[in-house]
């Protein structure tokens, strides 16, 4: 990126998210038991290919690092409504096939060092295609490249200084062509499970800023932890929906609990999708997974609907997640057509 400091672009959306706080709950993944009196959870140890789940830090409050500024989203929404109205002029939405490249960044060629097998990638593709099928979106696996680079594995997404963001950009630009209609997926360490994944910029940002567009190859794509592939070291937590969530951002969706005022409020337009109920907190802050049951709370009782714990864009445990709403599907298809040149 030009001489301009990357730090100056934080306000433009380069920064990834912090945490959402709740006084009563500390998030742990599905399969951890809740002690409601103390707001804490106790781990269940699970053995898989010689590894123990306690070898890794379980995902917590900053599960997804994609930060969407409410102010930027509101500004974009005005423009988007005009563009999508013209785009939707009665035309049927065709099915589309989107190419996918996987870049598996490893510290070494062990499961603990970031290795992801071909079988896991195939399983991930099956999850992706099933999740996006109602939207008329199919994903075609084009390539897999495995790279041993401990520096990338341990630091990308963890170090959010100028140097850390530059490191991420160097990694992505080593592989990506920057084509807006190709999904590049990067699997790295992300703090050994302290962060599940993120999308650096939502797709319309590249049309707003020529410097961002010029550097798209180093910015675009989805980064996920290698732990979240299906059949990985923590199979009781991860079913492959972590990538579905991040690709929802790649296709233009916000979190269902998005709020202008921040966590804990039921005010404002939320995610700008009319059929996702208003939600004060991410579900993991209120969900009690004891006994393996997905129980929805109603954090905005004066608004229609209960918290959408089955939605891919919430933070509910993965076994709870089953759907995108029709409104989210329509929004994704319009964003893909208008900002990623994906329509036919």
**Which active-site residues does the annotation give?**
246
Q: Phi and psi for 338 in degrees, rounded to 5?
A: -80, -30
- Name beta bridge partners: 104: 146, 187
294-303, Cβ contacts within 8 angstroms, sequence gap of 24 or more: 294/319, 294/320, 299/266, 300/266, 302/266, 303/266, 303/277, 303/278
Residue with tokens 């959010």: 160
**Which residue, 263, 264, 268, is CA-closest to 77?**
268
Sign of torsion, CA 80 85 91 92?
positive
From CA 143, how far away is CA 164, in angstroms rounded?
A: 26
Q: Helix or strand or coil: residue 101?
A: strand
For residues 165, 196, 130, 86, the Cα torsion angle rounded to the nearest 10 degrees is: -40
At residue 82's C-alpha, the angle toward residues 218 and 12, to 5°, is 30
């Amino acid at each position: 990126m030009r001489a301009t400091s990357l730090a100056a672009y934080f306000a433009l959306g380069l920064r990834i998210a912090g945490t959402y706080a709740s006084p009563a709950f500390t998030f742990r993944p599905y399969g951890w038991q809740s002690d409601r009196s103390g707001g804490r959870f106790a781990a269940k140890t699970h053995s898989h290919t010689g590894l123990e789940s306690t070898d890794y830090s379980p995902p917590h409050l900053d599960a997804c690092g994609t930060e969407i500024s409410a102010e930027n989203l509101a500004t974009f929404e005005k423009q988007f409504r005009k563009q999508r109205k013209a785009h939707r002029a009665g035309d049927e939405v065709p099915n589309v096939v989107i190419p996918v490249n996987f870049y598996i960044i490893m510290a070494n060629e062990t499961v603990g060092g970031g290795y992801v097998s071909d079988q896991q990638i195939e399983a991930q593709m099956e999850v992706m295609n099933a999740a996006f099928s109602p939207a008329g979106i199919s994903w075609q696996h084009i390539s897999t490249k495995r790279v041993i680079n401990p520096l990338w594995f341990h630091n990308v997404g963890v170090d959010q200084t100028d140097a850390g963001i530059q490191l991420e950009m160097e990694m992505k630009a080593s592989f990506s062509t920057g084509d807006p209609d190709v999904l590049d997926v990067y699997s790295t360490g992300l703090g050994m499970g302290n962060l599940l994944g993120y999308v650096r910029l939502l797709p319309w940002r590249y049309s707003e800023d020529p410097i961002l567009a010029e550097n798209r190859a180093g910015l675009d794509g989805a980064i996920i932890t290698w732990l979240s592939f299906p059949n990985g070291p923590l199979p009781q937590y991860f079913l492959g929906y972590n990538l579905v969530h991040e690709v929802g951002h790649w296709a233009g969706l916000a979190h269902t609990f998005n709020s202008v005022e921040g966590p804990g409020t039921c005010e404002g337009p939320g995610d700008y999708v009319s059929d996702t109920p208003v939600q004060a907190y991410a579900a993991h802050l209120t969900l009690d997974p004891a006994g393996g049951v997905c129980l929805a709370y109603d954090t905005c009782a004066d608004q229609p609907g209960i918290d959408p714990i089955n939605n891919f864009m919430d933070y509910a445990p993965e076994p709870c997640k089953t759907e995108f709403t029709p409104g989210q599907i329509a929004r994704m298809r319009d964003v893909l057509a208008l900002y990623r040149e994906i329509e036919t």
